[in-house]
Chain A
Amino acid sequence: MKPLPELRHYERAFNHLARELGLDYYPLEIELVPADFMMEISVYGLPVRLPHWSFGVRYIHRLIQHRMGHSKLYEVVFPGNPGQAYLTDTNSVVENTLVIAHVLGHADFSKNNQLFRSVQEQQGHHIVEQAAAHARRIEAAIETHGAEHVEQALDAALALEPHIDWHKALRRPRYPERPEEETRSEAASDFQRRFEALTGEVRKHEIPAPGQRAPIPPYPERDLLWFIANYAPEMEPWERDIFLTVREESRYFYPVFACQIINEGWASYWHARLLREADFLEDQFYIEAMKTHSDVVRPYAATEQVALAINPYHLGFTLWNKIVDQQGMEQAWRIRQNEDDFAFVRNHLDTETANTLGLFLYSNDRNGKVTVIDSDINALHEAVLASKYNYAAPHIVVEEIQRDNGLILRHDYTVDGIGLDPDRTRKVLQYIKKIWRRPVQILTLDKDGHEVSIAA
């Protein structure tokens, strides 16, 4: 059989089997594309995305990696209705068959997982098309306003890409003009009242007397892209559009980012199980597919004994197998619905599993020295999850708009425990200043641990 008809044959068979075993997903469109295009998707995060020179830098890094044979791309899936999956056309039929089974696991996860659902419902299940439309709008802006100006807005917006608050709605309204409105809407929500009733919780801002204008922002604001788009003193409408576009795409990436271990683990569990239960596969085919499986789901390169990073496929796969064995399938369906990486790792990675996996904590000194250090399971959890908070970006909020419309940001160093890199910070502030068009400063710690203000 030719590759494409053969793949279609397996796709149909796996779809049938998957539904039988209880997987629940939107229809999936699978497309075989050249390896170059796969690489671009992985660089941009989306098949068609807005143009920016920084993607060019990532592209060239990836290209070098690729040429050195360090990376082999199997699949990229975009959740939605229908879901869209891209596979590399140069991979073998065996590899791609395994990948199709894998992709079905992802499709089930993204349809049912709470976090994916909450973001998707607002986004409308068509991110691939939406991103392409964004790209076209920005190309039109380049035509009208010139590459330099659009680039200026994109420099700032993309630098702030991780600084959103995904808890807040996609179409988020401005702050209420009068404080009492806020009392009704946000502050008086059921959750908010119960939260404030907890011991030790204090309302951060007093509600100003009626009639008085509410301060902006009324509380430290994490949603920087939204805030600047709404409150910048002299922003052009098209610049605002760029900021909200970047925010929208960033919101879309959040579940993908926060559910890496659990999602890859789930997909790996399912490709392994689907292959195992597929009576339509020839023995030889199955053995080759399992070879590919063990290449992907392994803790470290075959020639090594130790890796200084964990393979999320391997960790997730191990945890899911344990959950299904010990707690049964019913519980597994619930976990895939309710948990993200934070819950998944904390709830299911226990000391025994960590020891079996050979997980360890190490310190990497500035001189390059790497030493294994003693650790307990809680320290391991936090180290695994450390890079997952807030897209691994520092915690930054809007503190205040000054009388002269100057913008004051604050770095929440109590969370990060260390100050910002001053040179890079100044550069980012310069990006922002070109859009805010008034002085911009940020409060953070210097290298001696004193609070400083960096300005642009």
Chain B
Amino acid sequence: MTTQGNWYDLFSRGARDWLRHNQKVRDAVWRSLPETLSGADILGNPDRRTVRIPVHLLEHYRFQLARRESETGVGQGSDVEPGDVLRPPQTDSGEAGGGSGEGEGEPHFVLEMKISDIVDWLWEELELPDLKPRASGPVVEEEWQREGLDRHGARARLDRRLTMKESIKRRIVQPEGAAITDDDLRYRQLVRRPRPATAAVVIMALDVSASMDQRSRRMAKHLFFWVLQGLRRRYRHIETVFIAHTVTAWEFDEAAFFKVSASGGTVASSAFKAAHGIFTSRYDPSRYNGYLLYASDGENFREDREAAFASLERLGEQINFMGYVEILPDVRGATDTETGRIFDRLTQAGLPAARYVLMDEEDLWDAIRTFFRREAEQAA
């Protein structure tokens, strides 16, 4: 007997398994996120809150024969003679004419991930190395705290429990009284109170001389971008300074810094002197934790060697940590660079400096981990 029910709309098994598939894709993307992100274009649009990552559908594998040069099939039609060409060869492999190859023309979809989520996840175990609480920050931080009660206030802050208590107390003396009167109402109050703060300033310095090619600059900017995103998520109040240099150094605001391009020779000390100047004049070392992150290809005028070392030495005595990312265009093995030697000397002198040689975008997160997990490793 033919029947008709209506319970089928309640749920969809197909949708449930599709969501499970998507979860698996998402997990796989998370696991390889640093590599995936290094390819994503995030600098183009600084206001963007999400990264879009194209992904393919997962395949559930089965035993399958290798593809033959040519497959035979049966067709049906009128006036077809042996030798007729029913479809010409496809020149463009991307233009799959159906059946010519699996995988082509497969539906794929775009996974959209919030930058803030990614950063939270990636920075979970990372932190500013050697961060010290300073006596009191220049800006006395204030925050809202709960304090006291009042008969007036915002509805959301009504304390129902205390209000009921008041009502019960009143009704003991006034047995015929109303259930609740305005006098019974109790609202929780908030006040602003100063809060001890850890203040920090991060100075990002970038070598934009002629020897830094497009790729190297892009890698450096990616690095700075993720560090900045991470620090901002992790620390509520952080100051940033952006410096770019060739033979001289300039300070930029953030937006301009990520677009900066220039050419010329390399005098690294110009940047270090600028950093030192900015740090000591604007930020009191007794109150601020200071950090320097410097990216360069390692080339520097030999005449500048001592000047650069001296300015870094002075800076190193005042700030918490100096990180140097050396971006090498390819695997030439020439890690023994001018700037590299300067940082090695600093480390040997017992100053808080570290160096990371970056050759590939895929190592970007490794570089960040090296600098920002330093303290955890030392403690371990």
Measuring CB to CB, which residues of chain A are less than 8 angstroms from any residue of chain B? Answer: 4, 7-8, 11, 29-34, 36-37, 39-40, 43-44, 48-49, 51-57, 59-64, 87, 89, 100, 147, 155, 158-159, 161-163, 299-300, 304-311, 314, 357-375, 380, 383-384, 386, 393-394, 396, 411, 416, 418-422, 424-425, 427-428, 431, 447
Cβ < 8 Å to A, chain B residues 48-89: 57-89
Distance between Cα atoms of A34 and B80 in the complex (Å):
41
Distance between Cα atoms of A383 and B76 in the complex (Å):
13
Whole-angstrom distance between the Cβ of A354 and the nearest chain B Cβ: 10
Contact among A361, A370, A419, A427 with B74 in the assembled complex (CB-CB below 8 Å): A361
B70 surroundings in chain A (CB, below 8 A): 363-366
Flag if A394 contacts B15 (CB, 8 Å): no
Distance between Cα atoms of A419 and B61 in the complex (Å):
16
Flag if B20 contacts A53 (CB, 8 Å): yes
Flag if B18 contacts A421 (CB, 8 Å): no
Distance between Cα atoms of A4 and B86 in the complex (Å):
47
Given contact pairs A310-B74, A364-B73, A428-B61, A89 touches B85 in the complex (Cβ within 8 A): no
Whole-angstrom distance between the Cβ of B111 and the nearest chain A Cβ: 14
18 of the cross-chain contacts (CB-CB < 8 Å) are A36-B9, A40-B13, A44-B14, A49-B13, A54-B21, A56-B16, A60-B14, A158-B60, A357-B76, A364-B70, A364-B71, A366-B68, A367-B90, A368-B89, A369-B89, A372-B84, A419-B65, A421-B65
How many A-B residue pairs lie within 8 Å, measured between CB atoms? 244
Whole-angstrom distance between the Cβ of A51 and the nearest chain B Cβ: 6
Flag if A362 contacts B73 (CB, 8 Å): yes
User: Which of B94-102, B199-207, B267-275, B325-333 interfaces with chain A?
Assistant: B94-102
Flag if A308 contacts B73 (CB, 8 Å): yes
Distance between Cα atoms of A130 and B89 in the complex (Å):
49
Contact among B4, B13, B74 with A51 in the assembled complex (CB-CB below 8 Å): B13
B13 surroundings in chain A (CB, below 8 A): 40, 44, 48-49, 51, 55
Whole-angstrom distance between the Cβ of B1 and the nearest chain A Cβ: 7
A428 surroundings in chain B (CB, below 8 A): 61-63
Distance between Cα atoms of A221 and B22 in the complex (Å):
36
Residue of A7, A33, A304 contacting most chain B CB atoms (<10 Å): A33
Is B2 interfacial (CB-CB < 8 Å)? yes
Whole-angstrom distance between the Cβ of A143 and the nearest chain B Cβ: 15
Contact among B16, B63, B89, B107 with A420 in the assembled complex (CB-CB below 8 Å): B63
Flag if A368 contacts B61 (CB, 8 Å): no
B17 surroundings in chain A (CB, below 8 A): 51-56, 59
Flag if B8 contacts A360 (CB, 8 Å): no
Flag if B58 contacts A53 (CB, 8 Å): yes
Residue of B2, B62, B65, B86 contacting most chain A CB atoms (<10 Å): B2
Contact among B61, B68, B75, B97 with A306 in the assembled complex (CB-CB below 8 Å): B75
Cβ < 8 Å to A, chain B residues 328-354: none
Given contact pairs A39-B14, A52-B17, A364-B100, A372 touches B86 in the complex (Cβ within 8 A): yes
Distance between Cα atoms of A40 and B59 in the complex (Å):
19
Contact among A7, A162, A369, A372 with B80 in the assembled complex (CB-CB below 8 Å): A372
Flag if A53 contacts B21 (CB, 8 Å): yes
Flag if B77 contacts A427 (CB, 8 Å): no
Measuring CB to CB, which residues of chain B are less than 8 angstroms from any residue of chain A? Answer: 1-5, 8-9, 12-22, 24, 57-90, 96-97, 99-101, 107
Flag if A368 contacts B1 (CB, 8 Å): no
Given contact pairs A365-B69, A371-B86, A424-B64, A30 touches B75 in the complex (Cβ within 8 A): no
Given contact pairs A51-B20, A364-B100, A57 touches B66 in the complex (Cβ within 8 A): no
B86 surroundings in chain A (CB, below 8 A): 306, 308, 362, 370-372
B75 surroundings in chain A (CB, below 8 A): 306-310, 359-362, 372
The 8 closest A-B pairs by CB, nearest first: A306-B77, A56-B17, A59-B14, A368-B90, A56-B18, A54-B60, A368-B100, A427-B61
Flag if B8 contacts A36 (CB, 8 Å): yes
B59 surroundings in chain A (CB, below 8 A): 57
Flag if A369 contacts B88 (CB, 8 Å): yes
Whole-angstrom distance between the Cβ of B341 and the nearest chain A Cβ: 46
New A-B pairs, 6, CB < 8 Å, besides A8-B2, A40-B12: A30-B3, A33-B8, A299-B76, A309-B73, A368-B97, A370-B86
Whole-angstrom distance between the Cβ of A4 and the nearest chain B Cβ: 6
Distance between Cα atoms of A57 and B25 in the complex (Å):
12
Q: Which residue of B lies closest to A28 (CB)?
A: B1
Contact among B20, B65, B79 with A56 in the assembled complex (CB-CB below 8 Å): B20
Whole-angstrom distance between the Cβ of B301 and the nearest chain A Cβ: 52
Contact among B15, B65, B68, B85 with A59 in the assembled complex (CB-CB below 8 Å): B15
Flag if B60 contacts A418 (CB, 8 Å): no
Flag if B8 contacts A159 (CB, 8 Å): no
Distance between Cα atoms of A184 and B2 in the complex (Å):
51
